[in-house]
Amino acid sequence: MKLLLLVISFAFAGAATADNANLPPKLRDIGIDQHLGAQLPLDARFQNANGESVTLGSYFHGKPVVLALVYYECPMLCNRIMAGIASGLRPLRLKAEKDFEVVAISINPRETSAEAAAKQDLFSGEYSGRRGSPGWHFLVGSPDSIAAVAQAVGFHYRWDPETKMYIHASGIMIATPKGVLSRYFYGVEYSPTDLKLGLIDSGGGGIGSPVDKVLLFCYHYDPTTGKYGAVVMNILRAGGAVTVTLLGAGLLLLWRRERYGMPQGG
């Protein structure tokens, strides 16, 4: 029964809560509603893995943030979500702490900083090969603080006393450096390309190389699928711009050779 609930909650990760009247009663109103453009409650207070009191805003300082609502005693789904974040971010040239932050918030108010610390070590180690590497933050908090964040991001979940588990959907969000929700990705595996483009897009031009900016121009985020797809017209425009630039550079070189008698080479 537990495994069944986990599988079903994963399957309906992106289902709109208003459209699941045909689901079993346990799964009704469970899901993630996209609140793109909504402001996170940056003044909400939590405890970090060291037991220190922090605000959510402590992790927003000029860089985008990957945000996950999970719980640390979850038997399967939440671990897969966090492992999916680690494996999706690992290949990127963008690096945690330098270019972005990862923040996980437990939806279970009974969990402790010690449990947060264990998961922080585990998944930061999966990301970098070194436990406790910077840029990964696992938080616990009060029911009010958890509810404030869950409501802001549209994360609907429920405690099930029969299975003694939280029933929830699987997905993550990316927020801008000012704490505005900008991207949602569903499931438990996240494409490195989607994560890179989402971070660069959410970073507002503050991270990424010029090549990344061109790539972002050629791809478009589709909120209905939570993925980036190629935009043909933008690719053609980018290709045309490159062609014009190369032609211009070639003509300039020929003009300089003709004017200054530069050798043609051979």
CB 180 within 8 A of CB 37: yes
Please give the pLDDT value at position 31.
93
Give the pairing type, strands 65-70 and 171-175: antiparallel
> Where is average pLDDT lowest: 18-27, 36-45, 104-113, 138-147?
18-27
| Domain boundaries along the sequence of the chain | 2-204
CA distance 218 to 237: 9
Look at residue 255 and tell me whether its pLDDT is greater than 80. no
Q: What is the largest CA-CA distance in the chain?
A: 87
CB 71 within 8 A of CB 108: yes
Mean pLDDT computed over every residue of the chain: 82
Look at residue 188 and tell me whether its pLDDT is greater than 80. yes
The CATH number given to 2-204 is: 3.40.30.10
Please give the pLDDT value at position 266.
42
Strand order in the sheet with 136-141: 53-55, 45-47, 136-141, 101-106, 65-70, 171-175, 181-186
CA distance 76 to 2: 10
CB 130 within 8 A of CB 97: no
pTM over 0.95: no
